[in-house]
Amino acid sequence: MVTAVITGASSGLGKEYINAIIAQYPSVDAFWLVARRKEVLKEVAQEHPDKTIATISLDLSKAESYDLFEKLLKENNPEIKVLINNAGYGKCTDFFSSNRAQQTGMVDLNCRALTAMTRLCLPYMLDNSLVLNISSIASFVPTPRMSVYSATKAYVTALSRALRDELRPRGINVTAVCPGPMDTDFWNVANVPEGKSRLIDRLPRVDPKAVAVGSLRAAKRGKALYTKSLFYKFYRLLAKLLPHGFLMEFTEI
Determine contact, residues 238/184, Cβ cutoff 8 Å.
no
Per-position x/- string for 112-141, each x denoting binding to ligand NAP as judged by CB under 6 A, each - no binding: ----------------------x-x-----
Residue choice 20, 28, 109, 218 for contact with ligand NAP (CB under 6 A): 109
Q: Is the dihedral of CA 179, 181, 185, 186 positive or negative?
A: positive
By CB under 6 A, tell whether 214 contacts ligand NAP: no
**What character string, x for contact with ligand NAP (CB under 6 A) and - otherwise, covers 40-79?**
x------------------xxx------------------
Q: What CA–CA distance (Å, rounded) separates 221 from 175?
A: 10
Query: What residues act catalytically?
Result: 149
Cα–Cα distances in angstroms (integers) from residue 28 to residues 1, 49, 146, in the given order: 8, 14, 37
Q: What angle do CA 26, 160, 162 make, to 5 degrees?
A: 125
Q: Which of 28, 45, 53, 87 binds ligand NAP (CB under 6 A)?
A: 87
Q: Both ends of the chain: CA-CA distance in Å?
A: 44
Q: How far is the CB of 141 from ligand NAP (least distance, A)?
A: 14
Contact residues: ligand NAP, CB under 6 A: 7-14, 35-37, 40, 59-61, 86-90, 109, 134, 136, 179, 181-182, 184-186, 189
